C-alpha cells in the first residue's frame, strides 16, 4: 500500500488534534455544561480510588502480620480500615454507575446537536457544492462521523485524564520504591505508543481513501431500494450486476480492515509479553525488598497494584491520547463542513426590493460556465423582460433554457456579464427579497412525501394554508380531480413511504408542484416544462387559468410543446446558449426559420 496521505509534520498533526478537541469541547460546554462537568468528575475520580483502596489493604495486611507475629491487635483500627475500604468500594461503584448514566444522557443529546448543526450547515450550502465530487466525498465521510466520533474523542480525552491521574500517583509511589523501575516500565510502553499512533493513522488513511467507494456503495443502496429505480432494475435484470458492484466494494472494505487488524494483533501480542515480564520483575523486586526487611509484607500488594496502575495507566493514557488523535482526524472533516464558506455571497448592505410589483429584468451580455466544467452554456446572452411581460423559451435539449432560470434564481452567479433587476445587479440585491419575487416550477420539481395540503403550502411557508387558498391553487393547476380519489382530502399523505400514503401519477405530481408555484403567488412566475406530463385537456385548462392568474405578473414559460408557448408575447428560440430568433408566434412562423420548422414538424405529427 502507498504512503498515508496525511503526511503533515507530527507536531502540526498534534496541534490540529488539540485544536479539534478544544473546538469539540467548547461546543459541548456551551450546550451541556453541567453534564460535561459531571462526566469529567465521574470518569476521573475512579482513577484515584484504587490507590486509596490498595493502601488501606496494605495497612490491613500489615496489622494481620503484626498480630500473627506478636499477638497484638488494634481491633478498632482494623474495623475502621475495613469500613474505609467499604466506603471506597461504594464510592468507586457509585462513580461508575453515575458515569454510565451521565454519559448515556450526554451522548444521546450531543449527537443530535452535531447532526442538527451539520444538516443546517449542509442545507445552507450553495448548489455547486453538491455537484462537486470532492465535496460529496467529504459529505460521505461526515455521514458517520457526527453520530459517534465526538463521543469517542471526549471519552478518550476523559479517560486519558483519568489515566494521567493514575500514572502520576503511581509514579510518586514507585519513586519511593525505586526510580529505575519506573524507567523500565516507561521503556516498554513508548514503542507501543508509536506503533499505535501509526496504526490509527493507517485506519484513518484507509477511511479517507474509502470515501469515494462508500459514496458508490450508498448510491447502489439507493438504486436497489428506491421505488423509482426498482422498475427498470428489475426489468433489465440489473440487480445482479449492481450486487456484484456492492460485493466488490464490501470485499475491499473487508480486506482493508483485516489488514489493519492483523497489524494490530501482532504488535499487541508482543507488547503483552513484554509487559508481563516487567510486571513480574517489579513483583520480584518487591519480594526481595521485603526479605531484606526494607518494606513490609503489605507493601507487596500495594506496589503490585501501583505497578499495575502505572503500567495500565500509562498504556491507557497513550491509547486514549492516540484515540483522541485518531478521532480528531475524523472530526476534522466535520469541522471542515462547518467551515465551508458560502460561494454566493450577500452584500453587507444589500439592496432591498419590493415584491408587490414585478421588476424589470435584464440579462446583459451574460456568459456562463458551470463551476468545475469548461463548456460555455450561455454566451453573450442579452435579454430584457419588462414588468408583466409574458415570454417563452423554446429550443433543443441542452440549449441552456433551464440554466437561464437557475441563473435568474441566483443558484449560480454568472461567469461574465450581469443580470440587472430594476437596474441593480442581482448580486447586490437582497436574496430573500428577490426570492419573494419568484415562483418557480423547476423542471425537476420536488415531490414531498407529506400531505397534499403541505405540498401546496410549501410554496409559501409564511402564508397560512387556509382551505380556500389551497383549494384555489389546486383548481388553478387543474388538480381538483385528485381529491375525489383521496380518502383524507387535503390531509391525504402523498407518496408510499409513510402510512396510508397514496402515490399520485407523474402528471398528478406535476400538477401538485404547479399548484405549489401558484400558491406562492409571486410577481414573477417561472414554469420550466410545466406540462411535460400533463394531459392535453388539463393543459388547456391550466393555461387558461395562467392567463387570468398572471395578469399583473411576469411569466416565463419554457416548453417543448408549441401549444404551451404560442400565446406568449415574445418567444425566444435558443440554440447553444444564444437567442437565434424572437417574436410572437405569428411573426416567428412568418419568418420561416428554426421556430417555423420545429412548429411545422410538431404540427405534422398531429395531422
Ligand X SMILES: Nc1ncnc2c1ncn2[C@@H]1O[C@H](COP(=O)(O)OP(=O)(O)OP(=O)(O)O)[C@@H](O)[C@H]1O
| 413 Cβ contact list (under 8 Å, min separation 6) | 343, 344, 427
Contact between 413 and ligand X by CB under 6 A: the answer reads no
Spatial strand order of the sheet with 390-395 comes to: 438-441, 524-528, 554-558, 390-395, 570-575, 578-583
- Integer Cα distance of 36 and 158 in angstroms: 10
Q: Which of 28, 171, 321, 399 is close enough to bind ligand X by CB under 6 A?
A: 399
Binding mask 420-459 for Mg ion (x = CB under 5 A): -----------------------x----------------
Dihedral class, residue 423 (left if φ above 0, else alpha if ψ from -120 to 50, else beta):
left
Which candidate, 282, 308, 311, places its Cα nearest to that of 295? Answer: 282
Q: How far is the CB of 384 from ligand X (least distance, A)?
A: 20
Q: Say if CB 486 and CB 503 are below 8 A apart.
A: no
Question: Which option in Mg ion, ligand X, none does residue 400 bind, with CB closer than 5 to 8 A by kind?
Answer: ligand X
Binding mask 285-304 for Mg ion (x = CB under 5 A): --------------------
Question: Which option in Mg ion, ligand X, none does residue 398 bind, with CB closer than 5 to 8 A by kind?
Answer: ligand X
Contact between 289 and ligand X by CB under 6 A: the answer reads no
Number of residues forming the site for ligand X (CB under 6 A): 13
Q: How far is the CB of 536 from ligand X (least distance, A)?
A: 20
Q: Say if CB 111 and CB 151 are below 8 A apart.
A: yes
For ligand X, which stretch binds (CB under 6 A), given 35-43, 100-108, 395-403, 447-455? 395-403
Contact between 402 and Mg ion by CB under 5 A: the answer reads yes
Contact between 342 and ligand X by CB under 6 A: the answer reads no
Contact between 58 and ligand X by CB under 6 A: the answer reads no
Q: Say if CB 406 and CB 412 are below 8 A apart.
A: yes
Q: Among residues 338 and 370, whose Cβ is nearest to ligand X?
A: 370
Q: Which of 370, 435, 445, 486 is close enough to bind ligand X by CB under 6 A?
A: 370
Q: How far is the CB of 560 from Mg ion (least distance, A)?
A: 9
Q: Which of 111, 121, 131, 567 is close enough to bind ligand X by CB under 6 A?
A: 131
Contact between 425 and ligand X by CB under 6 A: the answer reads no
For ligand X, which stretch binds (CB under 6 A), given 20-28, 142-150, 398-406, 530-538? 398-406
H/E element, 367? strand 361-369
Q: How far is the CB of 236 from ligand X (least distance, A)?
A: 23
Contact between 443 and ligand X by CB under 6 A: the answer reads yes
Q: How far is the CB of 439 from Mg ion (least distance, A)?
A: 18
Q: Among residues 62 and 396, whose Cβ is nearest to ligand X?
A: 396
Q: Among residues 188 and 598, whose Cβ is nearest to ligand X?
A: 598
Q: Which of 75, 397, 586, 607 is close enough to bind ligand X by CB under 6 A?
A: 397
Strands 570-575 and 390-395: parallel
Q: Among residues 443 and 563, whose Cβ is nearest to Mg ion?
A: 443
- Cα dihedral angle (347, 348, 354, 360), rounded to 10 degrees? -30
Q: How far is the CB of 528 from Mg ion (least distance, A)?
A: 6
Q: Among residues 357 and 402, whose Cβ is nearest to Mg ion?
A: 402
Q: Say if CB 421 and CB 340 are below 8 A apart.
A: no
- Integer Cα distance of 198 and 200 in angstroms: 5
- Integer Cα distance of 534 and 529 in angstroms: 10
Q: Which of 141, 152, 166, 401 is close enough to bind ligand X by CB under 6 A?
A: 401
Structure letter (DSSP) for residue 342? P
Q: Among residues 229 and 402, whose Cβ is nearest to Mg ion?
A: 402
For ligand X, which stretch binds (CB under 6 A), given 397-405, 465-473, 533-541, 596-604? 397-405
H/E element, 400? none
| 533 Cβ contact list (under 8 Å, min separation 6) | 505, 506, 507, 509, 510
Contact between 340 and Mg ion by CB under 5 A: the answer reads no
Contact between 370 and Mg ion by CB under 5 A: the answer reads no
Q: Among residues 401 and 516, whose Cβ is nearest to Mg ion?
A: 401
- Residue 468 Cα distances to 181, 436, 457, 458, 520, angstroms: 85, 21, 12, 16, 14
Q: Which of 327, 403, 554, 570 is close enough to bind ligand X by CB under 6 A?
A: 403
- Residue 317 Cα distances to 45, 61, 310, 323, 407, angstroms: 15, 31, 10, 10, 55
Q: In this chain, which residue has its C-beta nearest to Mg ion?
A: 402
Q: Which of 315, 316, 395, 459 is close enough to bind ligand X by CB under 6 A?
A: 395
- Integer Cα distance of 315 and 30 in angstroms: 32
CB-based burial, 48-66: b 16+ in 10 Å, e otherwise: bbbbbbbbbbbbbbbbeeb
Site of interaction with Mg ion (CB under 5 A): 401-402, 443
Q: Which residues bind ligand X (CB under 6 A)?
A: 131, 370, 373, 377, 395, 397-403, 443
Amino acid at each position: 500500500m502507498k504512503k498515508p496521505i496525511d503526511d503533515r509534520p507530527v507536531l502540526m498533526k498534534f496541534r490540529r488534534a488539540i485544536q479539534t478537541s478544544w473546538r469539540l469541547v467548547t461546543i459541548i460546554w456551551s450546550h451541556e455544561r453541567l453534564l460535561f462537568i459531571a462526566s469529567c468528575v465521574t470518569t476521573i475520580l475512579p482513577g484515584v480510588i484504587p490507590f486509596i483502596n490498595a493502601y488501606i489493604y496494605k495497612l490491613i495486611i500489615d496489622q494481620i502480620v503484626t498480630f500473627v507475629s506478636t499477638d497484638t491487635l488494634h481491633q478498632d483500627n482494623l474495623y475502621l480500615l475495613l469500613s474505609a475500604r467499604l466506603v471506597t468500594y461504594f464510592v468507586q461503584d457509585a462513580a461508575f454507575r453515575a458515569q454510565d448514566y451521565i454519559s448515556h444522557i450526554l451522548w444521546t443529546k450531543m449527537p443530535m446537536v452535531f447532526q442538527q448543526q451539520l444538516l443546517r450547515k449542509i442545507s445552507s450550502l450553495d448548489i455547486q457544492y453538491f455537484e462537486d465530487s470532492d465535496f460529496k466525498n467529504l459529505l460521505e465521510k461526515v455521514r458517520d462521523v457526527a453520530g459517534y466520533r465526538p463521543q469517542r474523542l471526549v471519552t478518550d480525552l476523559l479517560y486519558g485524564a483519568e489515566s494521567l491521574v493514575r500514572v502520576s500517583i503511581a509514579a510518586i509511589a514507585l519513586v519511593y520504591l525505586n526510580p529505575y523501575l519506573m524507567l523500565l516500565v516507561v521503556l516498554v510502553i513508548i514503542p507501543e505508543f508509536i506503533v499505535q499512533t501509526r496504526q490509527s493513522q493507517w485506519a484513518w488513511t484507509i477511511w479517507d481513501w474509502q470515501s469515494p467507494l462508500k459514496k458508490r456503495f450508498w448510491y447502489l443502496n439507493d438504486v436497489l431500494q428506491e421505488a423509482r429505480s426498482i422498475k427498470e432494475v428489475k426489468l433489465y435484470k440489473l440487480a445482479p450486476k449492481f450486487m456484484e458492484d456492492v460485493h466488490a466494494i464490501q470485499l475491499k472494505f473487508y480486506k482493508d480492515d483485516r489488514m489493519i487488524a492483523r497489524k494490530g494483533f501482532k504488535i499487541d501480542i508482543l507488547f503483552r509479553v513484554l509487559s508481563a515480564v516487567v510486571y513480574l520483575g517489579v513483583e520480584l523486586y518487591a519480594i526481595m525488598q521485603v526479605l531484606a526487611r526494607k518494606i513490609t509484607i503489605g507493601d507487596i500488594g500495594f506496589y503490585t497494584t501501583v505497578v499495575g496502575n502505572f503500567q495500565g495507566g500509562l498504556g491507557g493514557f497513550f491509547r486514549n491520547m492516540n484515540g483522541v488523535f485518531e478521532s480528531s482526524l475524523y472530526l476534522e472533516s466535520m469541522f471542515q463542513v462547518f467551515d465551508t464558506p458560502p460561494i454566493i455571497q450577500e452584500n453587507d448592505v444589500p439592496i432591498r426590493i419590493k415584491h408587490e410589483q414585478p421588476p424589470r429584468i435584464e440579462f446583459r451580455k451574460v456568459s456562463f460556465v458551470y463551476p468545475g466544467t469548461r463548456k460555455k452554456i450561455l454566451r453573450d446572452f442579452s435579454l430584457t423582460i419588462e414588468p408583466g411581460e409574458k415570454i417563452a423559451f423554446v429550443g433543443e435539449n441542452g440549449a441552456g433554457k433551464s440554466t437561464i432560470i437557475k441563473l435568474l434564481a441566483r443558484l449560480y452567479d454568472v461567469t461574465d456579464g450581469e443580470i440587472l433587476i430594476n437596474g441593480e445587479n442581482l448580486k447586490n440585491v437582497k436574496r430573500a427579497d428577490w426570492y419573494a419575487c419568484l415562483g418557480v416550477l423547476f423542471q425537476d420539481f420536488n415531490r414531498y412525501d407529506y400531505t397534499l395540503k403541505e405540498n401546496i403550502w410549501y410554496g409559501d411557508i409564511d402564508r397560512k394554508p387556509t382551505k380556500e387558498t389551497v383549494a384555489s391553487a389546486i383548481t388553478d393547476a387543474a388538480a381538483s380531480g385528485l381529491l375525489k380519489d383521496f380518502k383524507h382530502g387535503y390531509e391525504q399523505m402523498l407518496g408510499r413511504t409513510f402510512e396510508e400514503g397514496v402515490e399520485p401519477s407523474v402528471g398528478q405530481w406535476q400538477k401538485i408542484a404547479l399548484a405549489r408555484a401558484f400558491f406562492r403567488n409571486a410577481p414573477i412566475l417561472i414554469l420550466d416544462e410545466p406540462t411535460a406530463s400533463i394531459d392535453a385537456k388539463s393543459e388547456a385548462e391550466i393555461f387558461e387559468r395562467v392567463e387570468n392568474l398572471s395578469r399583473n405578473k411576469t411569466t416565463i414559460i419554457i416548453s417543448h410543446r408549441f401549444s404551451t408557448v404560442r400565446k406568449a408575447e415574445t418567444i425566444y428560440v435558443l440554440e447553444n446558449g444564444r437567442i437565434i430568433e424572437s417574436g410572437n408566434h405569428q411573426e416567428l412562423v412568418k419568418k420561416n426559420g428554426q421556430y417555423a420548422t420545429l412548429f411545422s414538424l410538431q404540427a405534422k405529427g398531429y395531422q
